[in-house]
Amino acid sequence: MSTKKYSDNNLIVEKIKKFRSKAIKQKPNYEEKQLDKPISFWIKEDRLLNKRGKEFTIILRTKGCSWALGPNGGCSMCGYVQDSTFEKIDQAHIKNQIDYAFQEKLTEILEDEEDFVLKIYNSGSFFDDDEISESTRDYIFKKIAKIPKIKELVIESRVDYITQEKLIKMKNSLDIYIEVAIGLETVNDHIRNAYINKGLLFKDFLEANRLCRINDIGVRTYLLFKPPFLNEQTAIDDCVRSILKLAELKVNTISINPLNIQKNTLIEHLFYQKRYRPPWFYSLFKCIVKASQESDILKEVRIISSPSGAGSKRGIHNCLKRECNEFMIKSLRNFVLTQDINHLIRSDEDYSCDCLVKYQLQKRYI
């Protein structure tokens, strides 16, 4: 892990570390057999590169993200470390987790009429050898190559582990469209490092983007919608700027993650102190609409968003009326599947809720 200095915000780092130690204390002791099953896996509808399809997602349990386990404590909103083992685990377990998920879902995949994107996440970095070794990666690639219905692959990694050698190896092993997902969160270095504590400079992201590009590998960029210490309006402005910049760089996919409150994180602490409210759906819609109206980006880049905890107090929500949130969730899903911005442009004939007035009054203060 790099020893670069990313921000002077030592106070935040100390606080994040305090919450991380709490997570470590609460960590269950995983039995050997639990390590042979992934944290979770599922199939659901999704947007493939140019059409509708299905996603097969597998969340692997590994040692955990080195950034979160290292001296910098990890990102201020991230509680993924809770699902990790903290110690290196035998790679045979990771292979067993993959086998288990495939065994359970293979028939469903083969019988489905639609094509699939396979997403393998490990709440850290696919290319970090401490989490997933080279031989395990090879094992996974061979497994995927045997299933022609899998047309796309997404894996995620911090830029620190993305090397020319690893990309070439992956590309040579698979004859499908591959995207490397990178948590950039915002194009603004200050917000990313001082508020999110991401430990990543934009120039390092540019280099990773370049490496993927020259190896004919797609780049999926995660943007964090409403990082801490930003109000709704500033969050919209930051995310619009980020979308436009990324479209200019010709990344392939922008995945917007509205912040959700995870356990034992600095954000959870701010949330309990009423100093942080997860974003409103109105803001997210406004942001995507604004970015797409400023430039014809949807022809160049696919924008997706599949918010965790949507409609709940801890996730993106409007008021707490069920129908209000359900309408927004449905509109967002329709936009993602079709890339048609009209699904996000509110029409009173479809649905309207009184909370819009409250939102408009508060958006610069909360």
What number of helices (H) and strands (E) belong to the chain?
A: 12, 8
For position 80 contacting ligand SF4 by CB under 6 A, the verdict is yes
- Total site size for ligand SF4, rule CB under 6 A: 11
Tokens of 157: 């990694």
For position 353 contacting Zn ion by CB under 5 A, the verdict is yes
Contact indicator for 15, 75 with CB cutoff of 8 Å: no
Give, in order, the Cα–Cα distances in Å from 331 to each of 35, 168, 218, 302: 38, 39, 27, 16
Tokens of 197: 């504590």
Give the contact letters, 131-150, x = binds to ligand SF4 (CB under 6 A), - = no: --------------------
Q: Cα separation of 140 and 43, whole Å?
A: 18
Among residues 123 and 221, whose Cβ is nearest to ligand SF4?
A: 123
315-344: contacts with ligand SF4 (CB under 6 A): none
Residue 78 touches which of ligand SF4, Zn ion, none (Cβ within 5-8 Å per kind): ligand SF4
Q: Cα separation of 139 and 276, whole Å?
A: 43
Which segment (77-85, 97-105, 143-151, 320-328) binds Zn ion by CB under 5 A? 320-328
Closest of 115, 119, 141, 145 to residue 48, by C-alpha: 115
Tokens of 120: 């393998």
Among residues 123 and 318, whose Cβ is nearest to ligand SF4?
A: 123
Among residues 7 and 123, whose Cβ is nearest to ligand SF4?
A: 123
Give the contact letters, 279-318, x = binds to Zn ion (CB under 5 A), - = no: ---------------------------------------x
Give the contact letters, 60-79, x = binds to ligand SF4 (CB under 6 A), - = no: -----x-xx-----xx--x-
Name the residue type at position 16. I
Residue 318 touches which of ligand SF4, Zn ion, none (Cβ within 5-8 Å per kind): Zn ion
Q: Cα separation of 63 and 65, whole Å?
A: 7
For position 252 contacting ligand SF4 by CB under 6 A, the verdict is no
The count of C-alpha atoms lying within 13 angstroms of the C-alpha of 173, restricted to the half-sphere facing its C-beta, is: 21
Alpha carbon distance, N-terminus to C-terminus of the chain: 35
28-67: contacts with ligand SF4 (CB under 6 A): 65, 67
Name the site residues for Zn ion (rule: CB under 5 A).
Answer: 318-319, 321, 324, 353, 355
